[in-house]
Amino acid sequence: MSDSTPTLPCALTLRCTPELVQGQKVYVRIFPRSVRDEWEKLKGDGDDEKNNLPYSTALTYLKFKTGGYVHLDRYLNFLVSLEKIDDDVLRHVFRCIVGYSKGLSTDQAILLDVPPVADAIASTPEQEFEMTRFLKPVPNRQPKCPDWMYVAVPWVISKKLAAQKFTIYDLVPITEQVPAKEKDGSLKLDTDGVQVFKNRTIGWKANPNKREVTYLPDSRGGLIAWDHPIGRKYNIRDDGTAVNDAAAAQYAMSRLSVVMKTEPNIVHPVIFLDAHVTRVHSNMVFAKSTNIYQGSDGLPILHTELVRSGSVREVNQRALELLARDEMDVSLLHDLQTRVTKEQAVLEKAAANGEFPSFITPDAGAIRPLMPKNDNFAVGTGPGTLHLRLLAEHVTKVLGERASWVGFAVEPMTFEPRPTDKQKMPPQERARRIEAGELLHTIGFPSPEEITASVNAQGFDHLRIVCLWYRHSTRLRMINALSLAFPDSPPIGDPESGEKVLLAPGINVVFRKAERFLAHGDDINRTVEFKSFEDDFAGSDSNVMVAAWCETEIPDLKKKEGEKRNAFLLRKERYDGKFQVRRFLAKKDFVCQFMKGMKPGSFGNPSREISPPMPGKDHAAYMALLDLYRSLGIIDQRLARAIAKDKKGREAGGLVYCGIHVRRQAKTVDDKHTKRIVLATALFPPEEEGGAWTMRAWTPLIGAWVPYRQAITAFHASDYALHVDGKGETDKERWAEAAAHVEDALASLVRDELEPGMGYVVMIDGHACRRMWTGLHNENQSHQEEDITDPRTWLPGYGKGRNAPRKKPSAVIRMNVAPDEVPQYVPVARESDPDTEKESILFASAKLHRAEVDFGNPFWILFNIPRNYQAKGGDLGKTITRWDADPGKAGDEGERETNELKTPWWAITATEIYPVGVANGVDQTMLARATARLCHQTIAWSDRSRYPVPLHAAKQMDLDHPQYRRSAPPDEQEEEAADK
């Protein structure tokens, strides 16, 4: 890069200083409590289908009426816009809203006398504010901005970033000739004995053929490259030939997100920037929202929600009628509704013929519905890491000196190598292994000695793995995985059914064909089927720890016509053999892990049996076996070695690490709310140096700390508890109940489990638990507990009263992995040479970074490189953007895998680590490092996890519960692809 290139930040996190919004005005109505109460009453007057009617109608109407930069808070706390809104406009729309809630038509609603709530909303004074008023920093204080600022500021920033064109380029390699070598390391010669040379990439530089892309602001506070679609039809293949196939019509758009948040101990709010691939859906009727181009300079791309009409979606008809009566230009909405009507006709025709409806994506026009979930698509997810760098360059170019980035410095520490890391070896040895088909790294299985030590530490003498299968290929995959896990054991061979095969001293395995026991169906008597191999599960031998490794497959179960989602999930739960077997074995106190024996069909092809891959390539089997160890609470010495790596390793190794997982339940099929799920695990250091670490767990159902394996079986053997068992009636009271459960767990931990003088650390997801403890909130980081009047407990373990812990934790580690609440990493060059414009390849740092805060304690960010990043598709986004991705060729699966456009471009993720409530004498840097190491070294995964071991283990108990899939919020079950 040339020396004129500005220095790029480490992360796309911008300080929101007053200079960024200088001169910008905003218009706000802040509604009093009396008005909000009337609004809530209005929402409650309708049936369940119409509860969202007042909000969606009012917001859609106001967006089109004012040009788009308007936001109505769902609970009517405020109305904010960048343009003035006339009182009569509000009085008119909310009069009709009241009429709609009473079942009136538009013709009837507009004749109503103005209701008191509509008049109160319109009469609430519209205040004009200079944005800079709320962004002036106060030394040693967290920023305190009104809620509406977090909506309005991204509008302003997006408009500024859209004012200049976005420059894109690809990186081209710089090569030099170096001597070629043979596999044994000797110099390579040609047939005439002349030395052979090859080109080696020694650096990269920006392609001088730069181009420009125009981004338009959207009404959500982001930017969209509207006129520059990405797809098979729009991207050009390297050989220049045209692409004509069924997927050619599918396309996506580049979107830049701008989100305003706060960070701990930084006096300014921060702006999180990121790049995404927004994929356009082929139809409106199954989309949840759509983007609309308003056709006028200065107006944003309008993002509008589509309302549900039976099983499909359509335009908000009420808003359409109101806008038409106001003589607004609603041609776009009419076009949108015309398209919906045509698509509904396609649905009706397909249903009449018993066929699946088929839609072809129209050409990129003014209306573009967004894909509701991450389905198979011609354009893959992820913008690529080069795009993030280009975004940083664009922000720096547009904002200039006003761009003040949050600084991050690399924490000086090293991570203990993982078994799965690529091993350094001489070229000769590497070549020999490749030629012999041997692995270049280990799988990550713990040694038999460490497994036995962990089993013994839990009070057992032996471990038995019972392999239940019904396909011979799956049985062979299990045998191959166990052979790799126990390389020094005698060959497993072809054991008889029920034969105990010794894997290592104190460890054996039994294979049993159990097709009927594992089969799908709700009419199987699994008790009878189990009796035929019950003795394999150790019978009355209580000194044997037993676990089941089971085969399964995805059931071919379809939704019935008119069947609602919750009803389908409940039926699937009762039908899926995996759920039934897990529950059955849990009631007998046995943990289990499943492995698919069939690969689901795709592209019209049927499902097929999974054949045993090459040695070292069956990662699904290896991960299943490692996860089985995790369910048994088997902890090898990697964690001890990782924690001891720190210069304060002795201090870190003397703490108990407690993970608290909390999740808010969704409605069950009978429409009853369930309790917040509260699960806790604790990782205990050994009593003697060199001993095995152990893990225990707590659930409200048990009410005591028990071995992790035992807690799993007790938790999975029972249904999720219903809210009717609790006393709380409001949402806030139920969160308080969940916090009380945590206090019970910690009180029991201190009272019954901790040795005298031993400290403990609590690890939680701050995003999931933000309603439970006020001391977690960023806005309170400049305050003390006694400064806050909120009756909630300040932090976990800080409760007061008879049931509170007698000892506070040494610290609470607040974790955060929410994509829009953590910084996005910007890949930078290791070095550059201004004379040659040469720089090394952009690389992603996997190190721990410390934030440069303005006061108080820092927080840390652990940037994570997904294990797929360096594999298929990982390096594609390093040197090109999605616009330059080669669409490849249509055809069979092998050809599709080389399609740069379709391949996912894996993103770098981030985990925020913030120690709060750190006790005197406890080193917060040591805590951050220990937490990062507990993310780096896992007990059931070949790479980093987003959470440290205790929190990951607590969450996994919930994820494995048979009822999880019908109780978790939909956004936890499927990746929403509208933004990412």
Those residues with Cβ within 8 angstroms of residue 669's Cβ, 6 or more apart along the chain or in another chain? 566, 567, 569, 570, 966
DSSP label of 218: B
Those residues with Cβ within 8 angstroms of residue 136's Cβ, 6 or more apart along the chain or in another chain? 18
Q: What is the number of other CB atoms lying within 10 angstroms of the CB of residue 189?
A: 12
Helices (H) and strands (E) in the chain, counts: 27, 38
Least confident of 231-240, 249-258, 946-955: 231-240
**What is the rounded CA–CA span in Å between residue 674 and residue 726?**
10
**What is the rounded CA–CA span in Å between residue 38 and residue 44?**
10
How many whole angstroms from its chain centre is CA 165? 31
From residue 670, alpha-carbon distances to 457, 570, 666, 667, 674 in Å are: 44, 10, 11, 8, 11
**What is the rounded CA–CA span in Å between residue 684 and residue 181?**
51
Comparing 583 with 788, which gets the higher pLDDT?
Answer: 583
DSSP label of 11: B
pLDDT digits (tens, 9 = 90+) for 65-87: 888 899 999 889 999 999 999 99
pLDDT digits (tens, 9 = 90+) for 357-400: 888 899 998 899 999 877 788 898 889 889 999 999 999 999 99
Q: With 50 as the cut, is the pLDDT of residue 771 above it?
A: yes
- Given this model, what pLDDT does residue 444 score? 79
Q: With 90 as the cut, is the pLDDT of residue 295 above it?
A: no
**What is the rounded CA–CA span in Å between residue 924 and residue 140?**
19
pLDDT digits (tens, 9 = 90+) for 104-163: 888 888 888 999 999 999 999 999 999 999 999 999 999 999 999 999 999 999 999 999
* Residue 290: strand, helix, or coil: strand
pLDDT digits (tens, 9 = 90+) for 828-880: 654 444 444 444 445 567 889 999 999 999 999 999 887 666 555 457 788 89
- Given this model, what pLDDT does residue 2 score? 42
For residues 627 and 593, is the Cβ–Cβ distance under 8 A?
yes
* Residue 927: strand, helix, or coil: helix
**What is the rounded CA–CA span in Å between residue 694 and residue 457?**
7
Residue in the structure block whose two tokens are 């097709």: 515
Mean pLDDT of 569-598: 91
**What is the rounded CA–CA span in Å between residue 608 and residue 616?**
21
- Given this model, what pLDDT does residue 904 score? 85
Residue 678 β-bridge partners? 662
pLDDT digits (tens, 9 = 90+) for 409-434: 999 998 888 777 766 767 777 777 66
* Residue 116: strand, helix, or coil: helix
**What is the rounded CA–CA span in Å between residue 950 and residue 659?**
5
CA-closest candidate to residue 819, choices 943, 909, 936, 914: 909
From residue 383, alpha-carbon distances to 237, 254, 683, 902 in Å are: 18, 8, 38, 12
- Identity of residue 335: D
Length of the chain: 980
**What is the rounded CA–CA span in Å between residue 73 and residue 80?**
8
**What is the rounded CA–CA span in Å between residue 126 and residue 85?**
8
Instruction: Indicate the burial class of 324 (C-beta count within 10 angstroms; 0-12, 13-18, 19 or more).
Output: middle
- Identity of residue 691: G
pLDDT digits (tens, 9 = 90+) for 531-541: 999 999 976 67
Mean pLDDT of 970-977: 40
**What is the rounded CA–CA span in Å between residue 456 and residue 61?**
67
- Angle at 923 (CA atoms; ends 406, 419), nearest 5 degrees: 80
- Outline where 353-471 has alpha helix (H): 385-399, 427-436, 448-457
Those residues with Cβ within 8 angstroms of residue 978's Cβ, 6 or more apart along the chain or in another chain? 278, 279, 288, 289, 370, 371, 372
pLDDT digits (tens, 9 = 90+) for 455-506: 999 999 999 999 999 999 999 999 999 999 998 899 999 999 999 999 999 9
- Given this model, what pLDDT does residue 833 score? 44
Mean pLDDT of 727-747: 85
Least confident of 38-47, 321-330, 648-657: 38-47
From residue 557, alpha-carbon distances to 132, 144, 191, 551, 609 in Å are: 56, 51, 63, 18, 18
Residue 336 β-bridge partners? none
CA-closest candidate to residue 659, choices 832, 858, 812: 812
Mean pLDDT of 336-350: 87
**What is the rounded CA–CA span in Å between residue 221 and residue 157?**
8
- Given this model, what pLDDT does residue 1 score? 42
Average pLDDT, the chain: 85
**What is the rounded CA–CA span in Å between residue 276 and residue 489?**
49
**What is the rounded CA–CA span in Å between residue 700 and residue 708?**
14
**What is the rounded CA–CA span in Å between residue 123 and residue 646?**
63
DSSP label of 525: -
Residue in the structure block whose two tokens are 């616009």: 883
Mean pLDDT of 738-764: 94
Exposure string over 797-820, b if 16+ CB within 10 A, otherwise e: bbbeeeebbebbbbbbbbbbbebe
- Given this model, what pLDDT does residue 837 score? 47
Q: What is the number of other CB atoms lying within 10 angstroms of the CB of residue 331?
A: 10
- Given this model, what pLDDT does residue 5 score? 52
pLDDT digits (tens, 9 = 90+) for 632-673: 999 988 888 889 888 898 999 999 999 999 998 765 545 556
Those residues with Cβ within 8 angstroms of residue 925's Cβ, 6 or more apart along the chain or in another chain? 411
**What is the rounded CA–CA span in Å between residue 927 and residue 813?**
8
pLDDT digits (tens, 9 = 90+) for 165-199: 999 999 888 888 888 887 667 788 888 888 888 88
* Residue 96: strand, helix, or coil: helix
pLDDT grade for 892, boundaries at 50, 70 and 90: very low
**What is the rounded CA–CA span in Å between residue 745 and residue 707?**
14
